[in-house]
Every structure is written in C-alpha cells, then in structure tokens.
Copies of this chain bind each other. A is one copy, B any other.
C-alpha cells in the first residue's frame, strides 16, 4: 500500500529531507544545522492497540508516547518534543483522561520530552496519534538499510514478553505489555560507542522486523540461535510477537558485544549475509515473517 501512495505523492529528497518513509523515523536536516532531526508518527486506536476493558488509561497514555520514543531510540536519537492528536470517545470521562495524561506525562518527564501542540476532537472511539521529534548529530542517525554482509545481528532484552502478557493478562509479562520501556539510552550507546551499522525497533515481531531490515539492506539474515525468551513466553511469541520495543541492530563482525548495557541484556543471534534480500533463516529452516501486520491481522 505504501507503494501505491508513493506512486501518487512525490517522495523527493529536497526541502532538507534526508530520509523519507520506510524507516522508523524521517530525517530532516535544517540548512547549516549540526543536528539532524528525526520525526516519527504512530497511531494508537481503541480496539486495535488497546481495549478499554483491559488496558488502564495510564497504560494507554504510556504506550502512546513509548511507541514514538522507541522509534527515536532505534535511530540513536534523543527525543525532544512531541505533538498529540487525541479524539475522546463518549465512554471516556474526566478520570480516564486524567489517567491517560498521567501515564503520558510520567514518561515525557522521565525523558525530558515537551508537549509542543496537538489537536483535540470527539469520536465514537478513542484515537491517538503521537508525533515525536528527536535530535541526532548530523549524518549519524542509525538506519535499517545500512547493514553489511558479515555484520552480527543482535537484539536487546528478552522477546515475547508483550505477546505473552497479552495472552495471559497477568503477572510481569502483562505489565511488560502495558508499560513497554523505550530503549533511548541503549540507542545512543549503539550509535556512539558500539559503532552499530543498522538498527530498528522490534514493534511488529522479530521475524517480520528482521525481514524488513534485511530487505532494506539488500541482504539475507541467518539466525544462528533462538532469541532469549521473556519468562513465560513461547518461542513462537519471541519470534513473531509484536510490541516488545526492544532494539534489533547489527554491529561489525569484529566488534565484541557487551553482555548488557545498563541492565539491559544484549545478545548476538545471527549474521547478515549476501543472498536473497529479505530472506530470513533460523538454523536450516526458512523463517517466514509472521509478526503483526495491520493488513494481515495479528499473529498471536
């Protein structure tokens, strides 16, 4: 569908736009600026991304902003300000709005992010769209299309926690689902210290997101080990479950990967290779992209 849009609307690189659609963020370079600016937009919809019966208002507010912050993190940037478009449904009251804002504000304050504007409306169902703008030194944003053959494929954290939480509806995994943690400090570390060659966030599941990174980089990906499982998660959930918001990244073959960064585990799971662009193998078997895709429906 993006291709269909692309045919109609010009996607040219001008007006200071360095990178258009297809990555976690667009990159905008103001004239004579030492910084590039990252811009990302994410929808959160009632009935699609959350259900009023199960998701507390505070968690909805948190997740709205966390999605945008995670996109900035994935490019090694520092989030600066955001815009919130919010349509409230008839069932929401003052208490719901208070909770929503409490969740959003707590995360915004923690990362020093300013609410710069937005739009408000009423609608049959709750609709949120968050726009987050972040800063990165000129030309240094981590992209998903720049992995090289031989690069090590790595991930942060343990996978499948969010999908497991959504299945069980309780315990630590449920909290993990409700309050994902954007890996902002890790993203900067990957860019500044580890010399990562490519990065993206795991929003739609490892199998689908790794497929996308490999495709964008014109490479194939060989997973040599299964990803670390979140306690209680199945391998299926770790491979295909969405909304973990961990980082997927590549580092040069010779670079040593530390075991962790600020308490977040880092794991090497495979290697990028020349081959059919976008193909992903786990051991000897092909791993089909099975993560969440809005236009195919949920995988778990």
Are the C-beta atoms of A21 and B87 separated by less than 8 Å?
no
Q: Which residues of B contact A28 (CB under 8 A)?
A: 81, 116, 133
Known A41-B129, A87-B48: A5·B115 in contact at CB below 8 Å: yes
Are the C-beta atoms of B127 and A45 separated by less than 8 Å?
yes
Q: Which residues of B contact A122 (CB under 8 A)?
A: 48, 294-295
Known A32-B32, A123-B45: A117·B9 in contact at CB below 8 Å: no
Are the C-beta atoms of A4 and B48 separated by less than 8 Å?
no
**Residue in chain B with minimal CB distance to A80:** B15
**Residue in chain B with minimal CB distance to A5:** B101
Bound Cα distance from A17 to B45, whole angstroms: 28
Minimal beta-carbon separation of A81 from chain B (angstroms):
6
Are the C-beta atoms of A116 and B294 separated by less than 8 Å?
no
Minimal beta-carbon separation of A173 from chain B (angstroms):
24
Minimal beta-carbon separation of A91 from chain B (angstroms):
14
- Size range of the interface on A? 35 or more
Are the C-beta atoms of A30 and B20 separated by less than 8 Å?
no
Among candidates B9, B84, B116, B135, residue contacting A39 with C-beta atoms closer than 8 Å: B116
A104 is an interface residue with CB less than 8 A from chain B? yes
Are the C-beta atoms of B41 and A118 separated by less than 8 Å?
yes
Minimal beta-carbon separation of A266 from chain B (angstroms):
28
Bound Cα distance from A45 to B43, whole angstroms: 13
Chain A window 237-279, contacts with chain B (Cβ cutoff 8 Å), 1 for yes, 0 for no = 0000000000000000000000000000000000000000000
Known A81-B17, A85-B41: A294·B31 in contact at CB below 8 Å: no
Give the 5 A-B CB pairs with smallest separation, nearest first.
A129-B129, A30-B30, A8-B105, A15-B80, A9-B115
A contact set with B: CB distance below 8 Å:
1-2, 4-5, 8-12, 14-17, 20-22, 25-26, 28, 30-35, 37, 39-43, 45, 47-49, 80-81, 83-85, 87, 97-98, 101-102, 104-105, 108-109, 114-125, 127, 129, 131, 133, 135, 294-295
